[in-house]
Amino acid sequence: MTSNILPYTEWEDWKAGMYADKSDSPSSVSSAVSLLRDQHRLAMAMRSVSMYWKNACNANLREPPNNRSWLGQAACCYAVGVPESITRIAWGLLTDHQRDLANRIADEVIDEWKSIQKKNRQKRMFDA
């Protein structure tokens, strides 16, 4: 399960500056908040992360409980270019209901990602 994890220097989230130190400017916080509140855009961003950030997903999406928060942070970084520190501030500004919805979307996308991984593994076994 862990053999194809790559070092963080190969992760797309790290390359995109998700762990960079950035000041919490009001505009970047508000763009993260608006993404997290918008179910449609958030789902799109999360699915894009799961499709295009393969190395980062491989390292960060496997294990609960942190995979859900990672996906939210990665989606904000992917879609609006903010580091995870900003997303954490933005998360604090959501209502309970908005958080529940965002968590539900993350769970759906993680399930989809896991089932694709499973299919790929089975396919590789057959190919072999």
Residues binding other proteins (CB under 8 A): 2-3, 5-8, 10, 14, 19, 21, 59-60, 65, 96, 99
Which is nearer to other proteins, 5 or 44 (by Cβ)? Answer: 5
Question: What is the residue type of 46?
Answer: M
Residue 96 beta carbon to other proteins: minimum distance, rounded to whole angstroms: 5
Residue 88 beta carbon to other proteins: minimum distance, rounded to whole angstroms: 12
Which is nearer to other proteins, 15 or 118 (by Cβ)? Answer: 15
Residue 44 beta carbon to other proteins: minimum distance, rounded to whole angstroms: 26
Tell me the C-alpha distance between 19 and 17, whole Å. 5
SS (H, E, C) 13-76: HHHCCCCCCCCCCHHHHHHHHHHHHCHHHHHHHHHHHHHHCHHHHHHHCCCCCHHHHHHHHHHH
Residue 100 beta carbon to other proteins: minimum distance, rounded to whole angstroms: 10
Which is nearer to other proteins, 17 or 44 (by Cβ)? Answer: 17
Its sign, for the CA torsion 73, 74, 78, 83, is positive
Which is nearer to other proteins, 26 or 65 (by Cβ)? Answer: 65
